[in-house]
Every structure is written in structure tokens, then in C-alpha cells.
Chain A
Amino acid sequence: MELLGQKLSEFFQKVPHSNVTVERIDLRNGFILRLSASHVEGHVELLRCDPASVWSFAYEPLRNVFVENDTLVGLAGFEDIRFGQEKQFVVSAKPSQGSFIVVLRGSNRLGLLRDFYRSLNVHVGFRFRVPKSLINAEELDQKPDQQTFVLLKDPSENTLRHLLKKEIRVAVKVEDERDLEHLYRIGVRCFVLKDFRDEHRQRYPQACFILEKGGLATALGRVDGLMMNIGPLSLEEIVLASLTNRLLTLYTAEKYSKLLDVLGFGAVGWRRKTNFVFTTIRQEQEGVYEIRYVNEFNEPARVRVDTMTGVTDWFDGSKVSRLEKKTLKRDDGRYFHFYTEGGC
């Protein structure tokens, strides 16, 4: 595997790169390279490898990690990532304001993947706003919870102002900068867009941006969410892709699936009815994962997913007597939660 035109092993010996100026952050089991946009004109060849010897996601939008033997190379925050696939697998992209290549060594694939996202989280400090669900306006039957955004297509300004006045969190698909600027000014804070530019962050500091189309290598570190068609993904790709969900919510318009909810995927177009949180993923054996979460009854639960056979076994906690909650909003806007014995 070649990284920025050099053998990967040379980077472990701190060899500076001749063509691209990079800032290097050393980690316990690898390093992070930060590529600065000011030093780079156009596309840069990032990675060149033999497809036969490298594991990566089969689905192109997920292709931001490459593993050969005990080494992982992960990409985040690049603009316009391109793949060439002839005798060699070539990845090129244009660095943006925060573009990172993470190189890690470790023994298992799940551990390496987790370390890759952890490194971005801890050492690069990726922090995002995370609207959990996007429901369509026509499905709005009651005031949505605080995590849900109501997704509107071509709303009239009156509709928008009306919903915002009712404190409903609104998300709007935008096509151009003029719409974005106007909608932000009247109070919209969540935007679904095809073209994101780094300067949007400075111009609209309170906004959350969801990229309508793109790949993880582009979206990570730049936007807050990514729309994803998970139809072509294998079950293992779905499980592994969910590791990104603490850095960037992956939105899918697939119909309700408990597994997607447990894995923390953002929903588009349906109301999230459950409250699954705290997912941890452990690999039991090759292709078999155990996912731990807290179920809708606030009890610890788990699901075992065999990605080879597609079999999922659910192990829910026992249903015992629990507390009932009644929430009141006082005149001064404060929430009061009253708990009494009862429930199912």
C-alpha cells in the first residue's frame, strides 16, 4: 500500500512527504496526518494499493477505510473523492479545511475500525450536532420530540414561520446559497444539501448540515449527517458502518427496522418510536457481532447478528413493574417529570 506516493512503512519512520505539506499527530498505535488545503492545488493521489490484498467496503460511499494485513488507512474530510480501479486501486481527492488520513496498526478489523473513529473523535475533536430523525411534514400528527426535525420540501415562508413559531424544529432541502442564507435568517437550523462548502460553517454557525449524496470520506469531519441508501449494503457493512454514528449520523429512508434503530442510524420519513441508545458492538467471531443496547423499557438488551447467515437473535430484558412518567411544562417553560409506580 502506498500513501501519498510513498511506501506506508516509511511513514511509520516519520519520513516527511516531499509533495504535500502535512502535519503529523503521533498516536500510540499509529499517526494522523492533517493535510492543509492552503498547500494543495487540485486533486492529490492519496492511496494506491492492490485491490486483492486490501480489505475495504464493497459499497463505494462507505469506502473510507482500507486494511492490509495489520494496518488500517482511514480517510476523513476530503472534497470530491475519486477512485480509480484498474491494475491498482487509486484513491485521489482534494483536501478541504480539515482533511485527515489516519494510519493505525492493530490485530483485528473491528478494533482497528473503532480505533479509527475514536482517533478522529479524541485527537481531532470532531463534534457535531446530531438531529436523530427527520420526519416528513405530512406525517406530523403531534408535536415531535426534541430530537426530531420535520423535513419540508419547498415550504412556503408562511408555513415555515408558523412551524418555527410553534418551536417545531424544521429541516429544509436547499438547492442554492441564496435560499440557505434566507432560511437561516428566519430561524431554520437544519439543512439537507447536495453541495457543502467549508465556509458554510463560519457563515451559519448554529446550523446543522446533512449531505444529500456523497461518501464517508467526504462527509466525516465536514457535515453533521449523510443520507445513505443502505439497500446495496451487506449486513456486515451495515453493522460496521454504524460505528461512524457517534461522529456522523447516517440517514436512511429504509422502512422501519429495529436493527437500524439499535445501530443508531438516523431515520428519514418515519417517526422514531423507540428510544434505543448506548450501542456497543463486540465481535464474537468472524462475521458474528453482538450489539448491546438499552431497550424501550430502559432495560439492557442485546442482539446477536450473524452476518454470514443473516440470522439475528434478540435477547431482551425481562418485563417487570416499572415507573410511569408524566411530563408537564410549566408556564415559565421548565419541564417537570413526575414518576410513579406502575407501567407494564
Chain B
Amino acid sequence: MLELRYNPLTDEWIIVSAETQKRPVQPSQQSCPICVGGVELPEEYDLVTFENRFPALKRNPPEVSAESEIFQKKPSFGVCEVVVYTSNHDVALPGMPLKQIEKLIEMWVDRTIELFSHDFVEYVFIFENRGKEVGASLSHPHGQIYAFPFLPKRIEAKIEAFSKWHSTRGSCPICDVVRQEIELRERVVFETDSFVSLVPFYARFPFEVHIYPKRHVTSLPELTVEERKELAKHLKIITAKYDALYQQEFPYMMMFFQAPLKRLDAELFHLHVEFNPPKRDRDKIKWMASVETGTWAFINPMIPEQAAEMLRRAEVSEL
């Protein structure tokens, strides 16, 4: 079964997808489906993105039975892609050559443009789940892209917040935050000419890091060639610092928040990357439990300024 179901209690769409149940769990390198010669990618490649064999959304979803006024359904239009960063099974973002990450960003730019051009797509979400703690089913370095046929609830909340800030202050909240953070410096982890990586004042997870472009850009395609190169540097540095923090492969959720480009208020949005690592210590997890899941209210056991200090101190090798 593959369909969208409307939840009138929260005014949101739920994706029902029995397909995703069939996904493999942590196969070994010998059976890695996305290594060269694997079941998905028998040919040589450098970077590749492809439609998920077990998708939650499809370009040609099955038709749904007639909806009732109460139980509303829609076909699961959309695209779910697997993004393979490199053919090397044993290297992740922190260990990848900078040039490879730059190419990855170019690929994300192209995917953003192509996926947004589908008439059924309302939002393009690029993300990576790293580590079994956040449900990654393959250890080969890869991320995913979901092209949604609706605006997910948190994206809607973000654009509304940008709109509210703009209507009361006439500015962009991220532009304002960036200016203030660079001045204060206490939460800044890494800074270059065009980007700043920081533990936000409002961090929800213990070692949460956000990467903000200093210039007001709405989406990846708006970044200049030089800015894309700088972003690659930030992705490499931050993930390397995570690994250096406790000398272990640090699990995280990496999420790209781009504007919902088909909306007329899209230009209010400011592109940003969020890293949400689930760990709060070497061996302890900050779980998304009842309060977080049920209310969207987060209790952060780590003072953001301390987390920023720890990440600043985590030494990483030269690029």
C-alpha cells in the first residue's frame, strides 16, 4: 500500500508506505547494494543518485480509492532518491576529499532544480542519516532526497516563522542571528568568508550545529561557485569535528532546509543546514521521547555555549 492520508487533528499528511518495510538492514560490504558491482549499481560510477527501490513516494503512485469526507486520501506522488556520495564504501563525509564533497554539492544543486521542476513536487528535502542510532540501513556513504507533494509541517512552521519575523522586523531571522553570533563568537564553531557554523542559541540537541550562509540565499542553486566550495569545507570540518569529539564515528541527521520554491513567500526563507546528532555523551543517547515527539518541545541537556566550546576544541587535520 502506498498512499497519503490526512490527519485532521494536526492538519498534516501522513505517508503510508508498506514498501519501506522491505528495506535491508545494515548489509555487509560483500553484499552492499550500492558498491560497484552491487545489486543496484553493477557499473562503475563516481557519484550517483537513483530512485529508491523501497520508496515512500513515487512518480507514478497507485490510484487511491475514493476518499470519504472524514478519511481523506491522496496518491503518493513524489520522488525518493538514494544519493551515493562516492564509490568508496569505507569513507564518510569527514574523510572524503574536499573535491568530492564539492561535486556532491553540485549534484544536490542539480537534483534540487530537476525535482522542483516536477509539477507534483512542493518541497525538496536533502538529508543524511549516519549511523544505526538514527536508522541508517546501509553503511556505504550515502544520503537521500525526498521530493514531497506537500509542504511538510516543520517546513511550514519555518516559513511562517520567517514571515512573522519579516512582518514585525522587516528582516530575516537568520541574517539577524548570523550578524549577532559573529559579533558574540561564543557559539561559533567554524567561520569562513561566506558561511558560519555554530551551535545555535536555540539548539534542540546536545551537539546540534547549524551552517548558515552569510548572504541571504533561499536555496542551494542560488549559491555561487565559490560559496559552494566553502560549504563543502564546512560539511567536512563539522563532520570531522564530530568524529574527533569522542574519537568515534559520530551518528547524526544532516538536513538541508531550502525554501519551498513554488511559494510566493519563498524569498523570505534563508537556506541552512542542520546537524542533529542524537548523542549527548560518548555512550549516551538523547532520545526523541514522549515530550519531543508528542509536543515538539525539546529539553536540551547540554548548554549550547559549552557544546560550541567542545566542538571548537575538537582538533581536525588540515584540509
Is the beta-carbon distance between A122 and B110 smaller than 8 angstroms?
Answer: no
Whole-angstrom distance between the alpha carbons of A91 and B296 in the complex? Answer: 48
Q: How far is the CA of A129 from the CA of B110 in the complex (A)?
A: 22
Cβ–Cβ contact B225 & A320, under 8 A:
yes
Q: Are B120 and A129 in contact (CB under 8 A)?
A: yes
Q: Do the beta carbons of A294 and B119 come within 8 Å of each other? A: no
- Which of B41, B47, B222 sits near A278, CB closer than 8 Å? B222
In the bound complex, do residue B224 and residue A277 qualify as a contact, i.e. CB atoms below 8 Å apart?
A: no
Which of A130, A147, A247, A298 is B110 in contact with, Cβ under 8 Å?
Answer: A298
Number of residues on chain A facing chain B (CB within 8 A): 42
A278 and B261 contact, CB distance less than 8 A: yes
A267 to nearest B CB, angstroms?
A: 14
Contact with A along B243-263 (1 / 0, CB 8 A): 000000000000000000111
Question: Which A residue's beta carbon lies closest to that of B159?
Answer: A122
Interface string of B150-184 (1 = CB under 8 A from A): 00000000000000000100000000000000000
Whether A28 is near chain B, meaning CB under 8 Å from some CB there, is yes
Least Cβ distance of B168 to chain A in Å? Answer: 9
CB of B223 within 8 A of chain A?
yes
B221 interface residue, CB < 8 Å from A? yes
Whether, in the assembled complex, A131 has its beta carbon less than 8 Å from a beta carbon of chain B, the answer is yes
Q: Which residues of B (35-55) have their CB < 8 Å from a CB of A?
A: 41, 43, 45-51, 53
Q: B103: CB under 8 A from chain A?
A: yes
Residues in B with CB closer than 8 Å to A300 are: 221-224
Let me know if B222 and A277 touch, CB within 8 A. Answer: no
Q: Write out the residue numbers on chain B whose beta carbons fall within 8 Å of the beta carbon of A131.
A: 119
Residues of B within 8 A of A246 (CB): 262-264
Chain B, Cβ-Cβ closest to A275: B113
A:284-335 near B, CB below 8 Å = 292, 294, 298-300, 317-318, 320, 322-323, 325, 332-335
B276 within 8 A of A: no
- Chain A residues with CB below 8 A from B106, complex form: 298, 322-323, 339
Residues of A within 8 A of B261 (CB): 277-278
**Closest CB-CB distance, B72 to chain A, in whole Å?**
13
B264 and A243 contacting across the interface, CB-CB below 8 Å: yes
CB distance from B200 to the nearest CB of A (A): 26
Is B117 in contact with chain A by the CB < 8 A criterion?
Answer: yes
B109 touches A (CB below 8 Å) = yes
Residues from chain B with a CB closer than 8 A to the CB of A127 are 122
A280 to B262, CA, bound (A): 11
How many residues does chain B have at the interface if contact means C-beta atoms less than 8 Å apart? 40
With A114-B264, A118-B265, A132-B117 in contact, is A278–B48 under 8 Å at CB?
A: no
B267 on the A face (CB < 8 A): yes
CB contacts (< 8 Å) of A337 on chain B: these are 48-50, 110-111
A-B residue pair count with CB separations less than 8 angstroms: 108
A294-B264 Cα distance, complex, nearest whole Å: 17
- When chains A and B are docked, how far (Å) is the Cα of A280 from the Cα of B117? 16
A147 and B119 form a contact (CB under 8 A)? yes
Complex contacts, A322 vs chain B, CB 8 Å: 106
**In contact, B264 and A118 (Cβ under 8 angstroms):** yes
Q: How far is the CB of A280 from chain B (nearest CB, A)?
A: 5
Q: In the complex, are the beta carbons of B264 and A338 less than 8 A apart? A: no
CB pair B113–A340 under 8 Å, yes or no, is no
| Mask: chain A, 146-163; 1 = CB below 8 Å from B; 0 = not | 110000000000000000
Contact B113 A317 (CB under 8 A): no
Give min CB distance, A281 to chain B, whole Å: 9
Known: A147-B119, A337-B48. 20 other contacts (CB 8 A): A118-B265, A121-B263, A122-B265, A130-B119, A132-B117, A246-B262, A275-B113, A275-B117, A280-B218, A298-B106, A323-B47, A323-B110, A332-B53, A334-B53, A336-B41, A336-B48, A337-B111, A338-B45, A338-B46, A339-B48
> What 7 pairs between A and B have smallest CB-CB spacing?
A118-B264, A336-B50, A334-B51, A294-B221, A339-B47, A130-B119, A280-B267
30 contacting pairs across A/B (C-beta < 8 A): A117-B264, A121-B264, A122-B265, A129-B119, A131-B119, A132-B117, A132-B119, A277-B221, A278-B116, A278-B218, A278-B219, A278-B261, A280-B218, A294-B222, A298-B106, A298-B221, A299-B224, A300-B221, A320-B225, A323-B106, A333-B60, A334-B50, A336-B48, A336-B50, A337-B49, A337-B50, A338-B43, A339-B47, A339-B107, A341-B46
List chain B positions with a Cβ less than 8 A from chain A. 41, 43, 45-51, 53, 59-60, 103, 106-107, 109-111, 113, 116-120, 122, 167, 218-219, 221-225, 261-267
